[in-house]
Amino acid sequence: MKKILIVGHSHIVALQTAKTVDPTFEFYSIINQQQMDEISELDHDNYRSVIFSIMGNNHNVFGLLNHTQPFDFYFPENLNLPINSNARLLPVNLVAAILRRNMSSIFTITSQLLQYFKQPIYQIESPPPIPSELHIQKYPGVFKDKIIELGVSPAPFRYKLWRLHSKIVSDNCQRLGISFIDVPTETQDEEGCLQERYWNTDPTHRNARYGDLVINQIRAIHGMEIK
């Protein structure tokens, strides 16, 4: 049986550690250019499809922390989301343009990988933000020093940035003919952020339980038995 190849960066760990993963799935991490080059040497006839999880933390790098010059924006999908009254109000198109510029490496890597595969390609949406500032402060990861200095930005702000990030990635996928896999809706709370049962012990990634749901999403797309 041909395998499903999952290629990407740190967000694939939640899938690799999922209890429902089995030998149907093969994972390949692309941390550096050498690993990117090795992708081209794989026997691509072994795979029925390829799943991308390319980067995905740009919105966190951009907005996990309070900015030295705070800004906020109205999000067209939900104009009722809170606005920081002490922040400078910017047009959503400007915020999206800045975020898109910071995401240029995603587009470069995706385009490069597309040269190697003829199979159906899918892109996994990056996970929703963790709403709890206390959890992020407890497990700051690489953001530790900056969190001490600047503090964690409000959850509604981070949610809006995540939604902008997802739209930018989804639009790029549509342009390239890649199918976009939305996050499992059952992982989200009433505000659209991640439910606690799926949090990991760091500020930006998700646990194996979350990975189980994504693996089963992939199974469903391929008409496979859900575990």
Per-residue b or e along 76-114, where b marks 16 or more CB atoms closer than 10 Å to that residue's CB = eeeeebebbeebeeeeeeebbeebbeebeebbebbeebe
- pLDDT (0 to 100) of residue 218: 98
Whole-number pLDDT of residue 34: 86
Per-residue pLDDT of the chain (227 residues; tens, 9 = 90+): 899 999 999 999 999 999 999 999 999 999 888 888 899 899 989 999 999 999 999 999 999 999 999 999 999 999 999 999 999 999 999 999 999 999 999 999 999 999 999 999 999 999 999 999 999 999 999 999 999 999 999 999 999 999 999 999 999 999 999 999 999 999 999 999 999 999 999 999 999 999 999 999 999 999 998 98
Q: What's the pTM? A: 0.95
